Structure 1
């Protein structure tokens, strides 16, 4: 029942609104070329949009849990879209951004703690887990819409690159979240359908699932296969590898400042 949720518990956090504002201003700077160094504006735009998507991912978990019976969600602050409420500032913001900087991988960073005992029905439990990564899927569809709709006329090249890179982050986040490994949403989708004995045996490994997946991505063969799959999906949505590569190149503004940026990615004058 949602009647127990107060207006204060549902009020959008000023922190989230601030992140949205920074993202919007940075996006405007990228689009108009207002910034002397477009790369830094790309960094702010993509980082801000990534944190916004992280908040929406966790909000989707929380909102679905609320409508499934866990009315404790409101008091925990999960409905305010405040990223600091989703576990821990380091895990929610800093580490995901570091993952993006290091390898262009959109890994989840936040977490909502759901009182599963309040929820009845295996389908509801599966839907709660699926709601987060489905948000990343929706975000990817929105980011790639200008590409697959053929609506890129008049879109500045740098903004196009930034959207392509942001779409890649969303696709990687969706794929990784749906991996059925303990600790990730994919396992949460199938967990209600497993036997009690299997769940009990797997439970101790949940804290290490994300670390194990990230470690596997450092294996060259696994990394190549993973990004081949990501590139194939993006090509199906009209986004080329060149565009995602140049978006990541622009995102790493410090490379441009040091003269290491790829001149191939410079927009035509």
Structure 2
């Protein structure tokens, strides 16, 4: 039996998420003030924590939209608490995206909340549920780059500017990848309700391998160049120049040594 108290607990923000927010705030302060002896360490911790926050919000957006679409089961599953440990595949949603950021500076799409689609009525609702996650990344990118496109960087320390620039790059790459119409990714989920039954049945076996296919294709040098050129062009359109983005990634990967251009 579901009571009002249980519904409230299903939607109470998790202490785990609050802890991640606290880490983001503290390391953001350290990045802003230059408190850390090595600025790259502070940038690394700040961007990683903020990236995990964005992953939680991405999955929350899917779940919250599904709730309003008719799937009331998402509450009991813990998806509305923003606790990443409640996801169907914490490895896919949190661990692997963080590893990919550390290795290559790319926003790996998540995808670990199980939506009971049979509870949802209406093709538009299904499309919106799939779109909600990557739209969160778009919003996050806009927030990160607001000081740049609002020309409000006066007084913002260079290290913090660089951290925001790199964090915005992660959001942009995540949004682009998520919106690809590839089975298994959110972009395909947006268009799937509008496809014929025969088409959906034919591509369904590819869903478990969609993300692997995308990253295999990204290993092709010409495709990789086009992808990152597009991502960098979006950032430039949001007011982030190439030096700010480069220095953000350079500081983040502090163990490789920091370019003198980025330390001032």
What TM-score do you get using the length of structure 1 for normalisation? 0.95
Separation (CA, whole Å) in 1 of partners of 2:59 and 2:112: 7
C-alpha offsets along residues 106-157 of structure 1, whole Å, 9 cap, x if unaligned?
0123411001101100000000000000000000000000000000001000
Give the gaps of 5 or more residues in structure 1.
Answer: none
What whole-Å deviation, never above 9, does each CA across 1:172-220 have from its counterpart, x for those lacking one? Answer: 0000000000000000000000001110111110000011111111111
**Alignment CA distance shift 1:192-1:29 (3 Å):** same
Aligned pairs for 1:167-206 (under 5 A) are 167-206=168-207
**CA distance, structure 1, for counterparts of residue 60 and residue 98 of structure 2:** 19
Deviation sequence 1:1-57 (CA, Å, 0-9, x none): x99771110011111000000010000000011111111110110000000000000
Cα deviation per residue 1:211-264 (whole Å; 9 max; x = unaligned)? Answer: 1111111111001000111111111110011111110000012123xxxx2112
Partner Cα separation in structure 2 for residue 87 and residue 23 of structure 1:
24
* C-alpha contact (below 8 Å) 1:178/1:184 kept by paired residues: yes
Could you tell me whether the CA contact under 8 Å between 2:90 and 2:112 is conserved in 1?
Answer: no
- Do the aligned partners of 2:30 and 2:42 also contact (CA within 8 Å) in 1? yes
CA contact (8 A) 2:137 2:171 kept: yes
The structure 1 residue matched to 2:260, chosen from 250, 260, 263, is 263
Residues 136-175 of structure 1 correspond to what in structure 2 (within 5 A)? Answer: 136-175=137-176
Q: Which moved more, 1:83-92 or 1:165-174?
A: 83-92
Gaps of 5+ in 2: none
Secondary structure in 2 matching 1:11 = coil
Aligned to 2:16: 15
RMSD value over aligned CA atoms?
A: 1.3
- Which residue number in structure 1 is paired with residue 77 of structure 2? 76
Which residue of structure 1 aligns with residue 50 of structure 2? 49
How far apart in 1 are the matches of 2:95 and 2:119? 32
Query: What is aligned with 1:220?
Result: 221
1:266 deviation in Å? 1.4
